[in-house]
Amino acid sequence: MREHIVKADKLKKVYSSASQKIIALKEIDIEIKKGEFVTIMGPSGAGKTTFLNLIGCLDRPTSGKLDILGCDPTKFNEEKLSRIRVEEIGFVFEDFFLISFLNALENVQLPLVFARNYKNNNRPRDLLKRVGLSHRLTHFPNELSGGELQRVAVARALANNPEILLADEPTGNLDTKNAQELFSLFRNLNREEGLTIVVATHNVRLGYSADRVIHLNDGKMEKDERLVK
C-alpha cells in the first residue's frame, strides 16, 4: 500500500496575465503521508493557497509532477477532476462558502448530491452532531455564528468521507476561542479517524499544534518541521 497521499515533484505554478507573470510556486517537492496533520505557514503571497488549490485539484500546475492518491491529476479532464474533488477531497475555506439558500443540513448533504450518493442519509446528521451542531440542523447560514458556519463547512467537507481535508486559512474569520475549537476539532478528526489534514494558516500558535509545519516563502519551501509530541 502506498504511504503518501500527496506527492509533489518540482511543482511549479505560474499565473500569467497580459502585463505580468507571477511565479506562485517555484518547483517545490513535498510529500504528505496518510494520517498526517500538516500546517502550511508563511506570509501572504508565499504560495500557500496555490499549493492547496493544486493538491485540491481546483487548479492545474504549470509544470512538475503531482501524485494524489496514486492519480496524476494533470492528466485528468475536468469531469475526472471534479470526481476526485467530490470523492477524495474535502475543502474548507476562509470565507466558509456555505450555500445561503440551503440550511445547515442541506449544505452538508450537497456533496452527496454531486456524488450521486442518495442513500447514505444519516451521515450528514452524524457529521453535524460530530461538530457539535445537532441543534442547528435547520438553521440557515445567516442565522449561524462564524464558528458555527465554519463547523458546518467542516461537516460538509467530510460528507463523502474523503481521504484528505484541505483548509485554507480556516480561522481567518474566527475569534481566538472559535479558532482554538476548530483546531481541536481537526486534531480529534486526525487522531480518531486517521484523517489526513492540510491547513494553511497565519496563526503561528495554532499552526504549531499540528504534527508537521511546512514553511513556505516566496514560492519556495523554507523549512519542514516535524514536531515530536
157 is a site residue for other proteins (CB under 8 A) = yes
End-to-end CA distance of the chain: 26
The cell numbers describing 26, all together, are 517555484
Q: Is 114 a residue that touches other proteins (CB under 8 A)?
A: yes
Kindly tell me which residue out of 118, 122, 192, 228 binds other proteins, with binding defined by CB under 8 A.
118
- The verdict on 113 binding other proteins (CB under 8 A) reads yes
Residue type, 63: S
Contact 172, 52 (CB under 8 A): no
Binding positions for other proteins, 19-48, rule CB under 8 A: none
- Part in contact with other proteins (CB under 8 A); list of ranges 35-43, 89-97, 203-211, 219-227: 89-97
- The sheet with strand 37-41 has its strands ordered as 89-92, 164-168, 196-201, 37-41, 212-217, 220-226
Rounded Cα distance between 226 and 34, Å, is 15
The 10 Å Cβ neighbour count of residue 228 is: 4
Question: According to CB under 8 A, which one of 61, 141, 148, 160 is a site residue for other proteins?
Answer: 160
CA distance 20 to 1: 43
64 phi, psi to nearest 5 deg? 95, 170
Q: Does 61 bind other proteins (CB under 8 A)?
A: no
Binding mask 188-207 for other proteins (x = CB under 8 A): --------------------
**163 sits near other proteins (criterion: CB under 8 A):** no
Task: Round to whole Å and give the CA distance between 191 and 137.
Answer: 26
Work out which of 130, 136, 156, 215 binds other proteins, going by CB under 8 A: 156
Residue with Cβ nearer other proteins (142 or 228): 142
Q: How far is the CB of 168 from other proteins (least distance, A)?
A: 8
| Residue type at 156 in one-letter notation | R
Footprint on this chain of other proteins (rule: CB under 8 A): 49, 53, 56, 58-59, 78-79, 82-83, 85-87, 89-91, 93-95, 97-102, 106, 109-115, 118, 156-157, 160, 168
